Chain A
Amino acid sequence: EADIYQTPRYLVIGTGKKITLECSQTMGHDKMYWYQQDPGMELHLIHYSYGVNSTEKGDLSSESTVSRIRTEHFPLTLESARPSHTSQYLCASSEGPGDYGYTFGSGTRLTVV
């Protein structure tokens, strides 16, 4: 039973459109993350947050932005989608230090045409 929810699961959208990928968790975790996953490649961290009003960019440069106004909600926005943004986006949350591990959502598979 998932405690972290991502919507939509699949999205096909035209170039230039603004999109927001939703991520919500019910576990009260302070730490949340967005990873980008391409086939046959490792997951790359694009954004993370340690709590409300805290956001940081990850290792992989991304044109997306994030916000953290509420603990449970960590949406990712692309102001103008491009075909190069086609990928799977995975949201995760963590209870505490590294030894707790991460809980992942089911992902959003984005296709920009």
Chain B
Amino acid sequence: AQSVTQPDIHITVSEGASLELRCNYSYGATPYLFWYVQSPGQGLQLLLKYFSGDTLVQGIKGFEAEFKRSQSSFNLRKPSVHWSDAAEYFCAVENQAGTALIFGKGTTLSVSS
């Protein structure tokens, strides 16, 4: 069965430091991959997506992600974290049937001053 794994449950990063959130997926063909962010009490906001082409994709709020087929990974990065980036981040892949997204369990990001 398809799955998405986010190995880090909680990460704390100093403000201004770089960030990398890990995501691994299981999928046979070229996947549609997504990163979403959820602030407390809010719904999910799309940060970026990958479905073909350049393996490095740019998103909103200064985030980027790199698709690595050989590693089945789609890690999210940001060169300099701001306190407002503290939130929960979800990686997702579209299921093989194309009917819905499968989500990981999320990574909670805390930003220290």
Contact = CB atoms under 8 A, between A and B. Distances in A.
Partners in one complex: yes
B72 to A, nearest CB: 17
A33 B41 contact: no
Contact of B49 (A4, A9, A101, A109): A101
Nearest to A10: B41
Interface residues of B, number: 25
A99 B93 CA distance: 10
- Interface core residue of A9, A90, A99, A101 (most chain B CB under 10 Å): A101
Contact of B90 (A43, A101, A105, A106): A43
A43 B32 contact: no
Given A99-B32, A105-B43, A43 B103 contact: yes
A56 B99 contact: yes
B51 A104 contact: no
Given A40-B9, A45-B100, A48-B100, A98 B44 contact: no
Contacts of B15: none
Interface in A66-113: 90, 92, 97-99, 101-107, 109
A88 B67 CA distance: 30
Interface of B: 4, 9, 32, 34, 36, 41-46, 49, 51-52, 90, 94, 98-106
16 contacts: A2-B43, A4-B43, A42-B102, A42-B106, A48-B100, A58-B100, A98-B51, A98-B94, A99-B51, A101-B34, A101-B49, A102-B34, A102-B44, A102-B101, A106-B43, A107-B43
Interface of A: 2, 4, 6, 9, 33, 35, 40-43, 45, 48, 56, 58-59, 90, 92, 97-99, 101-107, 109
Closest 4 CB pairs of A and B: A98-B94, A104-B43, A98-B32, A99-B51
